[in-house]
A and B are shown apart, each in its own frame.
Chain A
């Protein structure tokens, strides 16, 4: 499915360039377009390396496990396929918290680490596990409670009440996340019924 979207973007984008007669721009973009990806990686790298280092300390000291214990009742309902003491749970908990606080870029290292932990126990390495899919649904929904970037942009543009959109954002996020999780739940039940 990701493959399909990837091809769709490239083909539709290229065709639009051709039809509108911007061939020169298309050519220069194909030759230099890889740069943006590298720039993003370079931007992510210092933060990712720093956070994985600090989180390693949290893991070695047992703090990460304690932290995931706090969220356990909630997490075990969402991820019934993960055993109670699975190392991924700590990273999932950290990822959810960082996302909720609007620290999107800090959440990514935790999320990647959680995926890595889940992949270690995956019998079919090329196929996503149930827990991975649930985790991604939760992540793509974006559980933001304080959308810091939006608030700061509103301030810059002279909003009278920059934080007034917090409540509407939370409500919309809730709708999006709950519907995503229900969708995921139904799909899982359907698969169970088949086997």
Chain B
């Protein structure tokens, strides 16, 4: 499975180049035009990326979530929910690298084959960084009114998190 995934990208690139060659596209010129547009895109997304990364890092570094969960821990202990997994579930929509770091930590503490480890793996796999993706994609084209994109995205995340708990429990619990 892993070997196959290592083949996909090279085959994809070679396939595109060969097809373009057969269709007599001027490959090099096409590439340069596209690459130039890519550079323009980077400049367009730069303000949104810098703004969002700054705010999320400030929030995560302040350890607000840590205090929040230690405040909640007496209640959570009653229902046997591991606090670390819950904080990972909350961080997941905000930052991909931060939730990966939490998952890595959980693997060291409980092991990847424990219930917590499997739950964390499922959580990491099941959603994406909603808030970052929204800021990036809408920021790149300067759309200000995002309509119901955020509420729909967060709703999907919430369902995904609940589903991850239930499914992991059914499969491995």
Q: B118, A164: Cβ atoms under 8 Å?
A: yes
Q: A112, B41: Cβ atoms under 8 Å?
A: yes
A34 → B minimal CB distance (Å)? 6
> B152: which A residues are within 8 A, CB to CB?
133, 137, 180, 183-184, 187
A residues 28-77 near B (Cβ < 8 Å) are 29-30, 33-34, 36-38, 40-41, 44-45, 48-63
Number of B positions contacting A (CB below 8 A): 98
> A108: which B residues are within 8 A, CB to CB?
136
Q: Which residues of B contact A (CB under 8 A)?
A: 1-2, 5, 8-9, 13, 16-17, 19-20, 22-23, 25, 27, 30-35, 37-39, 41-42, 45-46, 49-64, 67, 93, 96, 100, 103-104, 107-108, 111-113, 117-118, 121-131, 133-138, 140-153, 155-157, 159-160, 163-164, 167-168, 171-172
Q: B111, A128: Cβ atoms under 8 Å?
A: no
Consensus secondary structure, chain A interface: helix
The answer for the CA separation of A170 and B151 in the assembled complex, in Å, is 22
> A99: which B residues are within 8 A, CB to CB?
128
The answer for the CA separation of A113 and B38 in the assembled complex, in Å, is 9
B123 → A minimal CB distance (Å)? 8
Q: B137, A139: Cβ atoms under 8 Å?
A: yes
